[in-house]
Homo-oligomer: A and B are copies of this chain.
Amino acid sequence: MSIILYELCGADESHLFSPHCWKTRMSLAHKGLDFTSLPTSFTQVPKIEDGATKAVPLIKDGDTVLSDSYEIAKYLEDTYPDAPTLFGGEGGIALTNFVINWSQSQLHPLIGGLAMKDIYDILADEDQIYFRSDREAKIKMTLEQLHDGREAKVEMLSKALLPLKLMLKSQPYIGGESPLFADYVVFGALQWMRMTCTINAMPAKGEIADWFNRLLDMYDGMGRSAKAAA
């Protein structure tokens, strides 16, 4: 039986833009596992699998129901040990948590600032009401205020990516010669931006562009087949 992947969608169900869901999509593809995608809007999330989660991705694999892309990746590693590794050992599992916290604290606030109003614009009506209320409480301003002057964040994002850019000068992936889950963590953030942000803030060339393009092409171009916003 194929694994079920609940993942976030916009008003258009084919618009699967969540960074965290992309981390899990890439993890499943990396392990060579079949999965069935169930597009889920923001306001549907609390209703899936009897209220199992507040956030997607959520996977259902037989009797196992699990959320959080890092927890899912560790579960897949334990459950499918003969498929290609997502971590390359215990050290890789631990250090991935550093990459997650780096991406979450250094990249996500900037990408959120660049794309939050754009994300609002692609949601269904009932999701827009939830999203505006939830996000405006968190950012303590309106989506429109966040949107104004967002261009400055393009350069800030380029600077925030410096550790990755420098590292890619000596190895092709965070995982070394081939990608690991840590690569998908950062890929997820940039794919989220690629799919939602109406200004193009992606480095156009150089180490990061090359790395991102290689990941977009993997697994029969799964990432590239997702339509870019800009």
A92 to B164, CA, bound (A): 16
Residue pair A95, B92 in contact (C-beta under 8 Å) = yes
Number of identical protomers: 2
Residue pair B94, A176 in contact (C-beta under 8 Å) = yes
Q: Which residue of B lies closest to A173 (CB)?
A: B94
* Chain B residues, Cβ within 8 Å of A166: 101, 104-105
A93 interfacial by beta-carbon distance below 8 Å: yes
Q: Which residue of B lies closest to A90 (CB)?
A: B88
Residue pair B89, A95 in contact (C-beta under 8 Å) = no
- In the complex, what's the smallest C-beta–C-beta distance from A95 to chain B, in angstroms? 4
* Chain B residues, Cβ within 8 Å of A16: none
- In the complex, what's the smallest C-beta–C-beta distance from A225 to chain B, in angstroms? 28
Query: In the complex, which residues 158-175 of chain A have their Cβ closer than 8 Å to any Cβ of chain B?
Result: 162-164, 166-167, 170-171, 173-175
* Chain B residues, Cβ within 8 Å of A162: 105-106
Contacting A88 at CB < 8 Å: which of B91, B101, B105? B91
Query: In the complex, which residues 105-163 of chain A have their Cβ closer than 8 Å to any Cβ of chain B?
Result: 105-106, 162-163
Instruction: Tell me the count of chain A residues lying within 8 A, CB to CB, of chain B.
Output: 34
Residue pair A171, B92 in contact (C-beta under 8 Å) = no
A85 interfacial by beta-carbon distance below 8 Å: yes
* Chain B residues, Cβ within 8 Å of A105: 162-163, 166
Contacting A92 at CB < 8 Å: which of B91, B104, B163? B91
A35 interfacial by beta-carbon distance below 8 Å: no
Contact A102 B163, CB 8 Å, known A88-B91, A94-B88: yes
A41 interfacial by beta-carbon distance below 8 Å: no
A180 interfacial by beta-carbon distance below 8 Å: yes
Residue pair A170, B91 in contact (C-beta under 8 Å) = no
- 1/0 per residue, CB under 8 A from B, across A161-203: the answer is 0111011001101111100101000000000000000000000
Contacting A163 at CB < 8 Å: which of B91, B106, B175, B180? B106
A171 to B74, CA, bound (A): 15
Q: Which residue of B lies closest to A166 (CB)?
A: B101
Which of A87, A94, A99, A166: most chain B Cβ within 10 A? A94
Residue pair B91, A171 in contact (C-beta under 8 Å) = no
Residue pair B95, A85 in contact (C-beta under 8 Å) = no
